[in-house]
Amino acid sequence: MNGSLRINTITFIMAINSALSKPLNLSPELEAVVGKSPMPRTEVVKQLWVYIKKNNLQNPANKRNILADDKLKAVFGGKGEVTMFEMTKLVTPHMK
């Protein structure tokens, strides 16, 4: 790898890391699940998993699916069950 390509790659990775660690304001619905904002995206996902596991909301038949309670339904647009991958997509509009 030549020197300039290596520097550009490192700069790109640093930019991604800083974007992920930037504190974001959360919607009231999301705050009810993960806590008060501002909070970095990485911490939001971590706290979502804490909430899901604490309240036993993983589908026992398929652990990749989340069974939403009333608080999560407000975040998931009324959906009762979502996949892990859908979850991150549905949470994004609640962060600014």
The answer to whether 65 and 58 are in contact (CB under 8 A) is: yes
Written as one letter, the residue type at 74 is A
* pTM across the whole model: 0.78
In DSSP notation, 67-90 reads E--HHHHHHTTT-SEEEHHHHHHH
Fold of 24-94: MDM2 (1.10.245)
pLDDT digits (tens, 9 = 90+) for 22-45: 999 999 999 999 999 899 999 999
pLDDT digits (tens, 9 = 90+) for 48-92: 999 999 999 999 999 999 999 999 999 999 999 999 999 999 999
Query: Could you tell me the residue ranges of all domains in the chain?
Result: 24-94
